[in-house]
Amino acid sequence: MLTRFTDYSFRWAVIGICGFAAMAWLLAIDVAVNFRSILPKLELLCILFFFSAAYAGIRKWIPRFGRPLAVAVDCCLSFAQLLVALAVLLPVTYLAASTNFPLVDAGLSRLDAIFGFDWDSAARWVGERPVIDWVFQRAYFSFPYQAAVILVIGSFRLERNSEILWLLIVSVLMTSAIFAFTPAAGKIGQLGVGYFNLLMEIRRGDWSTMNYVQSEGIITFPSFHATLAIILAYAVRRYRWALAVFAPLNCLVIISIPTVGGHYLVDLFGGAVVAGLSILFVHRIRQFVRRGAL
Protein backbone atom coordinates (compact mmCIF):
# COMPACT_ATOMS: atom_id res chain seq x y z
CA MET A 1 0.00 0.00 0.00
CA LEU A 2 1.19 3.52 -0.76
CA THR A 3 2.55 5.28 2.30
CA ARG A 4 0.00 8.04 2.56
CA PHE A 5 1.97 10.52 4.65
CA THR A 6 4.93 10.40 2.29
CA ASP A 7 2.71 10.84 -0.74
CA TYR A 8 0.74 13.65 0.91
CA SER A 9 3.95 15.43 1.91
CA PHE A 10 5.40 15.07 -1.56
CA ARG A 11 2.31 16.73 -3.03
CA TRP A 12 2.68 19.59 -0.57
CA ALA A 13 6.28 19.99 -1.71
CA VAL A 14 5.20 20.20 -5.35
CA ILE A 15 2.46 22.69 -4.51
CA GLY A 16 4.97 24.75 -2.52
CA ILE A 17 7.45 24.83 -5.41
CA CYS A 18 4.66 25.89 -7.79
CA GLY A 19 3.62 28.59 -5.32
CA PHE A 20 7.13 30.04 -5.01
CA ALA A 21 7.59 29.94 -8.79
CA ALA A 22 4.24 31.65 -9.38
CA MET A 23 4.97 34.33 -6.80
CA ALA A 24 8.40 35.02 -8.30
CA TRP A 25 6.87 35.28 -11.78
CA LEU A 26 4.14 37.63 -10.52
CA LEU A 27 6.77 39.85 -8.91
CA ALA A 28 8.87 39.80 -12.07
CA ILE A 29 6.01 41.18 -14.17
CA ASP A 30 4.89 43.57 -11.40
CA VAL A 31 1.55 41.93 -10.59
CA ALA A 32 0.32 42.29 -7.01
CA VAL A 33 -1.77 39.71 -5.17
CA ASN A 34 -5.01 40.84 -3.55
CA PHE A 35 -4.50 38.97 -0.29
CA ARG A 36 -7.86 40.16 1.02
CA SER A 37 -9.52 38.04 -1.68
CA ILE A 38 -7.76 34.94 -0.26
CA LEU A 39 -9.06 35.40 3.30
CA PRO A 40 -12.24 33.31 2.88
CA LYS A 41 -10.11 30.44 1.56
CA LEU A 42 -7.72 30.79 4.50
CA GLU A 43 -10.63 30.67 6.94
CA LEU A 44 -11.93 27.48 5.35
CA LEU A 45 -8.40 26.04 5.34
CA CYS A 46 -8.05 26.68 9.09
CA ILE A 47 -11.41 25.00 9.72
CA LEU A 48 -10.36 21.94 7.73
CA PHE A 49 -7.06 21.60 9.58
CA PHE A 50 -8.80 22.11 12.92
CA PHE A 51 -11.28 19.32 12.28
CA SER A 52 -8.60 16.99 10.91
CA ALA A 53 -6.59 17.50 14.12
CA ALA A 54 -9.69 17.06 16.27
CA TYR A 55 -10.73 13.86 14.51
CA ALA A 56 -7.18 12.51 14.78
CA GLY A 57 -7.16 13.23 18.52
CA ILE A 58 -10.53 11.57 19.07
CA ARG A 59 -9.36 8.57 17.04
CA LYS A 60 -6.35 8.21 19.33
CA TRP A 61 -8.44 8.24 22.51
CA ILE A 62 -11.41 6.23 21.21
CA PRO A 63 -9.90 3.46 19.04
CA ARG A 64 -13.24 1.78 18.33
CA PHE A 65 -14.16 4.73 16.10
CA GLY A 66 -10.83 4.46 14.30
CA ARG A 67 -12.09 3.66 10.78
CA PRO A 68 -14.77 6.36 10.40
CA LEU A 69 -12.53 8.96 12.03
CA ALA A 70 -9.65 8.01 9.72
CA VAL A 71 -11.99 8.63 6.78
CA ALA A 72 -12.96 12.02 8.24
CA VAL A 73 -9.30 13.01 8.74
CA ASP A 74 -8.39 11.95 5.21
CA CYS A 75 -11.34 13.86 3.80
CA CYS A 76 -10.44 17.09 5.64
CA LEU A 77 -6.78 16.87 4.61
CA SER A 78 -7.70 16.11 1.01
CA PHE A 79 -10.04 19.10 0.80
CA ALA A 80 -7.39 21.31 2.42
CA GLN A 81 -4.76 20.28 -0.08
CA LEU A 82 -7.14 20.73 -3.01
CA LEU A 83 -8.04 24.21 -1.78
CA VAL A 84 -4.39 25.29 -1.56
CA ALA A 85 -3.51 23.65 -4.88
CA LEU A 86 -6.27 25.55 -6.67
CA ALA A 87 -5.20 28.83 -5.07
CA VAL A 88 -1.61 28.24 -6.18
CA LEU A 89 -2.37 26.96 -9.68
CA LEU A 90 -4.94 29.59 -10.69
CA PRO A 91 -2.29 32.32 -11.16
CA VAL A 92 -0.16 29.80 -13.07
CA THR A 93 -2.89 29.63 -15.72
CA TYR A 94 -2.90 33.43 -15.96
CA LEU A 95 0.88 33.62 -16.12
CA ALA A 96 0.82 31.18 -19.03
CA ALA A 97 -1.08 33.83 -21.02
CA SER A 98 1.57 36.45 -20.28
CA THR A 99 4.06 34.73 -22.61
CA ASN A 100 2.16 36.57 -25.36
CA PHE A 101 2.71 34.06 -28.15
CA PRO A 102 0.54 34.66 -31.25
CA LEU A 103 -3.06 33.53 -30.99
CA VAL A 104 -3.76 30.27 -32.80
CA ASP A 105 -7.51 30.76 -33.34
CA ALA A 106 -7.20 30.68 -37.12
CA GLY A 107 -5.52 27.28 -37.03
CA LEU A 108 -8.05 25.88 -34.56
CA SER A 109 -10.91 27.11 -36.75
CA ARG A 110 -9.40 25.41 -39.78
CA LEU A 111 -9.11 22.15 -37.87
CA ASP A 112 -12.74 22.44 -36.80
CA ALA A 113 -13.71 22.91 -40.46
CA ILE A 114 -11.80 19.75 -41.37
CA PHE A 115 -13.94 17.87 -38.84
CA GLY A 116 -17.06 19.52 -40.26
CA PHE A 117 -17.84 21.44 -37.06
CA ASP A 118 -19.36 24.92 -37.34
CA TRP A 119 -19.35 26.59 -33.92
CA ASP A 120 -21.84 29.32 -34.82
CA SER A 121 -24.39 26.79 -36.10
CA ALA A 122 -23.95 24.61 -33.01
CA ALA A 123 -24.31 27.58 -30.64
CA ARG A 124 -27.41 28.77 -32.49
CA TRP A 125 -28.96 25.28 -32.37
CA VAL A 126 -28.42 25.02 -28.62
CA GLY A 127 -29.59 28.59 -28.02
CA GLU A 128 -32.89 27.87 -29.74
CA ARG A 129 -33.55 24.99 -27.32
CA PRO A 130 -33.73 26.44 -23.78
CA VAL A 131 -34.07 23.07 -22.05
CA ILE A 132 -30.93 21.69 -23.70
CA ASP A 133 -29.11 24.95 -23.00
CA TRP A 134 -30.14 24.77 -19.33
CA VAL A 135 -28.99 21.14 -19.02
CA PHE A 136 -25.66 21.93 -20.71
CA GLN A 137 -24.97 24.82 -18.36
CA ARG A 138 -25.77 22.77 -15.25
CA ALA A 139 -23.48 19.99 -16.44
CA TYR A 140 -20.69 22.41 -17.36
CA PHE A 141 -20.67 23.97 -13.89
CA SER A 142 -20.99 20.69 -11.98
CA PHE A 143 -17.26 20.19 -11.33
CA PRO A 144 -17.11 21.61 -7.78
CA TYR A 145 -19.89 19.24 -6.69
CA GLN A 146 -18.35 16.31 -8.54
CA ALA A 147 -14.94 16.92 -6.99
CA ALA A 148 -16.41 17.16 -3.49
CA VAL A 149 -18.29 13.87 -3.85
CA ILE A 150 -15.28 12.10 -5.38
CA LEU A 151 -12.97 13.23 -2.58
CA VAL A 152 -15.44 11.88 -0.01
CA ILE A 153 -15.66 8.58 -1.89
CA GLY A 154 -11.87 8.41 -2.15
CA SER A 155 -11.42 8.93 1.58
CA PHE A 156 -13.01 5.56 2.25
CA ARG A 157 -9.95 4.06 0.58
CA LEU A 158 -7.22 6.11 2.15
CA GLU A 159 -4.90 6.11 -0.85
CA ARG A 160 -7.42 6.85 -3.61
CA ASN A 161 -7.37 10.64 -3.12
CA SER A 162 -3.67 10.47 -3.83
CA GLU A 163 -4.46 9.70 -7.46
CA ILE A 164 -7.15 12.35 -8.06
CA LEU A 165 -5.15 15.11 -6.35
CA TRP A 166 -2.04 14.25 -8.35
CA LEU A 167 -4.09 14.18 -11.54
CA LEU A 168 -5.53 17.63 -10.85
CA ILE A 169 -2.12 19.15 -10.12
CA VAL A 170 -0.35 17.56 -13.07
CA SER A 171 -3.15 18.25 -15.56
CA VAL A 172 -3.35 21.95 -14.64
CA LEU A 173 0.42 22.34 -15.01
CA MET A 174 0.43 20.46 -18.31
CA THR A 175 -2.53 22.42 -19.68
CA SER A 176 -0.94 25.73 -18.66
CA ALA A 177 2.38 24.77 -20.26
CA ILE A 178 0.68 23.99 -23.58
CA PHE A 179 -1.50 27.11 -23.43
CA ALA A 180 1.59 29.27 -22.92
CA PHE A 181 2.71 28.38 -26.47
CA THR A 182 -0.71 27.95 -28.10
CA PRO A 183 -2.93 30.74 -26.69
CA ALA A 184 -6.36 31.25 -28.22
CA ALA A 185 -9.20 33.67 -27.59
CA GLY A 186 -11.88 31.09 -28.36
CA LYS A 187 -15.53 31.95 -28.91
CA ILE A 188 -17.92 33.94 -26.77
CA GLY A 189 -20.12 31.23 -25.34
CA GLN A 190 -22.54 31.23 -22.43
CA LEU A 191 -19.74 32.35 -20.10
CA GLY A 192 -19.83 35.85 -21.55
CA VAL A 193 -16.85 38.10 -22.27
CA GLY A 194 -15.25 38.13 -18.80
CA TYR A 195 -12.58 35.55 -19.61
CA PHE A 196 -11.86 37.20 -22.97
CA ASN A 197 -11.38 40.64 -21.40
CA LEU A 198 -9.02 39.20 -18.79
CA LEU A 199 -7.03 37.31 -21.42
CA MET A 200 -6.62 40.45 -23.53
CA GLU A 201 -5.70 42.46 -20.41
CA ILE A 202 -2.94 39.98 -19.58
CA ARG A 203 -1.67 39.90 -23.16
CA ARG A 204 -1.55 43.73 -23.33
CA GLY A 205 0.51 43.83 -20.14
CA ASP A 206 -2.25 45.71 -18.27
CA TRP A 207 -2.83 42.98 -15.69
CA SER A 208 -1.81 44.45 -12.34
CA THR A 209 -3.63 42.47 -9.61
CA MET A 210 -4.20 38.78 -8.99
CA ASN A 211 -7.75 38.75 -7.62
CA TYR A 212 -9.31 35.51 -6.39
CA VAL A 213 -12.79 36.95 -6.10
CA GLN A 214 -13.12 37.87 -9.77
CA SER A 215 -11.27 34.86 -11.16
CA GLU A 216 -11.92 33.54 -14.66
CA GLY A 217 -10.84 30.43 -16.53
CA ILE A 218 -8.96 31.72 -19.59
CA ILE A 219 -7.43 28.58 -21.13
CA THR A 220 -8.97 27.68 -24.47
CA PHE A 221 -6.62 25.11 -25.97
CA PRO A 222 -6.41 22.48 -24.66
CA SER A 223 -9.77 22.42 -22.92
CA PHE A 224 -9.20 21.84 -19.22
CA HIS A 225 -12.91 21.11 -18.85
CA ALA A 226 -12.50 18.16 -21.21
CA THR A 227 -9.43 17.03 -19.27
CA LEU A 228 -11.21 17.27 -15.95
CA ALA A 229 -14.32 15.47 -17.22
CA ILE A 230 -12.18 12.48 -18.21
CA ILE A 231 -10.15 12.57 -15.00
CA LEU A 232 -13.19 12.66 -12.72
CA ALA A 233 -14.80 9.72 -14.48
CA TYR A 234 -11.48 7.85 -14.38
CA ALA A 235 -11.14 8.51 -10.63
CA VAL A 236 -14.24 6.43 -9.83
CA ARG A 237 -13.56 3.61 -12.28
CA ARG A 238 -13.33 1.07 -9.43
CA TYR A 239 -16.79 1.96 -8.10
CA ARG A 240 -19.39 0.71 -10.54
CA TRP A 241 -22.25 2.61 -8.94
CA ALA A 242 -20.28 5.87 -9.01
CA LEU A 243 -19.04 5.26 -12.55
CA ALA A 244 -22.67 4.76 -13.64
CA VAL A 245 -23.35 8.32 -12.43
CA PHE A 246 -20.15 10.19 -13.26
CA ALA A 247 -19.44 8.71 -16.69
CA PRO A 248 -22.74 9.84 -18.29
CA LEU A 249 -22.58 13.17 -16.45
CA ASN A 250 -19.10 13.90 -17.76
CA CYS A 251 -20.05 12.83 -21.27
CA LEU A 252 -22.69 15.52 -21.02
CA VAL A 253 -20.05 17.95 -19.75
CA ILE A 254 -17.88 17.25 -22.79
CA ILE A 255 -20.81 17.80 -25.17
CA SER A 256 -21.56 21.13 -23.47
CA ILE A 257 -18.02 22.49 -23.64
CA PRO A 258 -18.06 24.10 -27.13
CA THR A 259 -21.26 26.12 -26.73
CA VAL A 260 -21.17 26.89 -23.01
CA GLY A 261 -17.42 27.36 -22.65
CA GLY A 262 -16.79 28.95 -26.05
CA HIS A 263 -14.36 26.24 -27.13
CA TYR A 264 -13.39 24.95 -30.53
CA LEU A 265 -14.09 21.27 -31.13
CA VAL A 266 -10.36 20.51 -31.36
CA ASP A 267 -9.91 21.94 -27.85
CA LEU A 268 -11.72 18.83 -26.61
CA PHE A 269 -9.28 16.54 -28.41
CA GLY A 270 -6.39 18.46 -26.86
CA GLY A 271 -7.98 18.11 -23.42
CA ALA A 272 -8.39 14.36 -23.94
CA VAL A 273 -4.70 14.03 -24.82
CA VAL A 274 -3.73 15.98 -21.69
CA ALA A 275 -5.93 13.69 -19.58
CA GLY A 276 -4.28 10.59 -21.03
CA LEU A 277 -0.77 11.95 -20.54
CA SER A 278 -1.60 13.07 -17.00
CA ILE A 279 -2.86 9.59 -16.10
CA LEU A 280 0.34 8.01 -17.42
CA PHE A 281 2.57 10.58 -15.71
CA VAL A 282 0.78 10.32 -12.37
CA HIS A 283 1.11 6.54 -12.51
CA ARG A 284 4.87 7.02 -12.78
CA ILE A 285 4.93 9.59 -9.99
CA ARG A 286 3.06 7.32 -7.60
CA GLN A 287 5.36 4.42 -8.44
CA PHE A 288 8.34 6.67 -7.66
CA VAL A 289 6.86 7.77 -4.34
CA ARG A 290 5.96 4.18 -3.47
CA ARG A 291 9.54 3.03 -4.05
CA GLY A 292 10.83 5.92 -1.97
CA ALA A 293 8.52 4.94 0.89
CA LEU A 294 9.79 1.37 1.10
pLDDT at 294: 47
Is the preceding peptide bond at 130 cis, omega within 30 degrees of 0? no
Handedness of CA 270, 160, 293, 18 (dihedral sign): positive
Report pLDDT digits (tens) over 67-101.
777 888 888 899 999 999 999 999 999 999 999 89
- Taking residues 210-227, report their average pLDDT: 88
Contact predicate 84/44, CB 8 Å: no
Instruction: Give the percent of the chain with pLDDT over 70.
Output: 95
Look at residue 15 and tell me whether its pLDDT is greater than 90: yes
- Taking residues 232-261, report their average pLDDT: 93
Using pLDDT thresholds of 50, 70 and 90, give the confidence band for residue 9.
Answer: confident
- Taking residues 145-160, report their average pLDDT: 85
pLDDT at 131: 94
Q: What is the DSSP string of 93-140?
A: HHHHHTT-PPP-HHHHHHHHHHTT--HHHHHHHHHT-HHHHHHHHHHH
Using pLDDT thresholds of 50, 70 and 90, give the confidence band for residue 291.
Answer: confident
Report pLDDT digits (tens) over 34-47.
888 888 888 888 99
pLDDT at 223: 95
d(CA 11, CA 62): 30
Look at residue 137 and tell me whether its pLDDT is greater than 70: yes
Using pLDDT thresholds of 50, 70 and 90, give the confidence band for residue 250.
Answer: very high
pLDDT at 214: 73
Using pLDDT thresholds of 50, 70 and 90, give the confidence band for residue 293.
Answer: low
- 209: enclosing H helix or E strand: strand 209-210
Contact predicate 57/233, CB 8 Å: no
If one compares 231 and 39, the residue with the highest pLDDT of the two is: 231
Summary mean pLDDT of the chain: 89
Q: Would residue 30 be called left, alpha or beta, if left means φ above 0 and alpha means ψ between -120 and 50 degrees?
A: left
Look at residue 205 and tell me whether its pLDDT is greater than 50: yes
Residues 6+ apart with CB under 8 A from 282: 163, 166, 167, 170
- Taking residues 155-162, report their average pLDDT: 77
For the stretch 53-82, what's the b/e string if a residue is b when 16 or more beta carbons lie within 10 angstroms of its beta carbon?
eebeeebeeeeeeeeebbbbbbbbbbbbbb
Residues 6+ apart with CB under 8 A from 154: 78, 160, 161, 163, 164, 235
